[in-house]
Amino acid sequence: MHGKPRTKKQARRIQLITQELGCLACHLEGFSYEPCDYHHCDDQKQNHDRGYGLCPWHHRAVPTYGVGGSNMIGIKGPCKSMKEAFLRRYGTEQELLDLQDKRIMEWEKGCVSSESFVTEE
Cβ proximity of 22 and 55 under 8 Å? yes
SS (H, E, C) 65-114: CCCCHHHHHHHHCCCCCCHHHHHHHHCCHHHHHHHHHHHHHHHHHCCCCC
The type of residue at 109 is: K
Q: What is the pTM of this model?
A: 0.81
> How far is the CA of 57 from the CAs of 32, 75, 80, in angstroms?
15, 11, 8
Question: Where exactly are the structural domains of the chain?
Answer: 8-108
- Interhelix angle 8-16/93-109, rounded to 10 degrees, is 90
Q: Give pLDDT, residue 119.
A: 38
Domain at 8-108: CATH code: 3.30.40.190
| Predicted local distance difference test score (pLDDT) of residue 46 | 65
pLDDT (0 to 100) of residue 104: 92
Query: What does each of the 121 residues of the chain score in pLDDT, given as a tens digit?
Result: 456 778 898 999 999 999 999 999 999 999 988 899 998 887 666 677 889 999 999 999 998 767 777 789 888 999 999 999 999 999 999 999 999 999 999 998 886 333 434 433 3
